[in-house]
Amino acid sequence: MFLRDIWYFAMPGEALKSGGLANKVLLGEPLVFGRTRQGEPFALRDICPHRGVPLSAGHLYDAGSSGCGEAAIECPYHGWKFNTSGVCTEIPSLVPGQDIDVSRIRVRRYPVREVNGNIWVYMTDEKRADLAPTHEPPAIPGFDGKSANIRESMTFSCHVDHAVIGLMDPAHGPFVHRSWYWRTKASIHEKAKNFAPSEMGFAMVEHTPSSNSFAYRILGGKPTTEISFRLPGIRLERIHAGRHRVVGLTAVTPIDETSTEITQSFYWTLPLLSVAKPVLRRFMRAFLGQDRDMVNLQQQGLRFEPRLMLINDSDVQAKWYHRLKNEWDEATAQGRPFQNPVKPVTLRWRS
Ligand code: FES
Ligand SMILES: [Fe+2]
């Protein structure tokens, strides 16, 4: 179904206010995210163990106000309180002498990290819920402590695999993203790119991008770019031009079996790009919208469960994605280190 024991992008940090709660279904599981007044994010299963009310409908009380000296969510139904580790700290209806050990009542807690303004959540298999993360979520190289300059998010009506494969598919550009300023049918030409294994995935090694892409042209200077993919569905594109750098992060997160959220964020050092934000936002929405419309259209065919094809070389990255996933599943099930199945190779295609 979904990869487990791995970090998924949950939401932008700015979506979670200090002292606030936010609910979100991820991988078919309801989660409540909160942020303490100290700024620490946390995540719990969004179901009260008493009678099943979503905890996200309650309140986050913080040190002092909750009376228990630590941040806790209060369920709106009977006021049970759960701390940020998911341990029950109070049942208001108890009278003296009714000595239930409330600390034995627990809500599932999910490990959370906030890196470069991105909130990541570690989704383990229920059976391994108490295991500590084996790795860290991705950071944005060269942007220590900085948040994204721009973000757009969109929901695709498809399983995560089709969203990820659509994202790494090099052959759809001139068809799905055809436009006078980006790609035209006449701009199709042969490409050869070098690929190598990289952390939890693979990378198109640093190169000078082809001249038919508008985004690279507006950067000025001779840019180089490196694109990497890592499980479960994270694409990092780093562009260097002179002393400037732009990093694009695309995170694909399954909401459930049939819907997937794509969040695209850009980090940059060019003040000029900040001025152009409204225009960039329109381009980003247009782009994501074209991809969304295509995978949504694809669902019409997939309803009939056809056999699908993966061809050389333009679908090799999709093949790697399946292999990487299988290896991740096997490695986590066997409790052994992940062994990257990708080998260095040059791939050629026309796009
Ligand atoms: S349902 Fe949450 S306290 Fe009763
Ligand atoms: Fe696309």
CATH topology of domain 6-128: Rieske Iron-sulfur Protein (2.102.10)
Task: Write down the pLDDT at residue 69.
Answer: 66
Nearest CA to ligand 1 atom 4: 78
Cβ–ligand 1 contact at 78 (below 6 Å): yes
Q: What are the residue ranges in the chain where pLDDT is below 70?
A: 63-69, 180-183, 210-220
Q: What is the pLDDT of residues 177-209, one digit of tens each?
A: 987 666 677 788 899 999 999 999 999 998 877
For a mutational test of ligand 1's pocket, the pick from 48, 91, 102, i.e. the residue with the most ligand atoms closer than 8 A to its C-beta, is: 48
Per-residue tokens: 203: 């990378």
CA of 55 to the centre of ligand 1 (A): 8
Name the packing angle between helices 316-334 and 160-168 (round to 10°). 130
Residues 6+ apart with CB under 8 A from 179: none
Cβ–ligand 1 contact at 51 (below 6 Å): yes
Which architecture characterizes domain 150-350 according to CATH?
Answer: Alpha-Beta Complex (3.90)
The ligand whose atoms approach the alpha carbon of 289 most closely is 2
CA of 84 to the centre of ligand 2 (A): 39
Domain ranges of the chain: 6-128, 150-350
Q: Which residues pair with 96 in a beta bridge?
A: none
3-state helix, strand, coil in the chain (%, to 5): 25, 35, 40
Share of the chain above pLDDT 70, in %: 94
- Contact (CB, 8 A) for 2 and 117: no
For residue 10, what are the CA distances in angstroms to 120, 122, 137?
A: 5, 9, 11
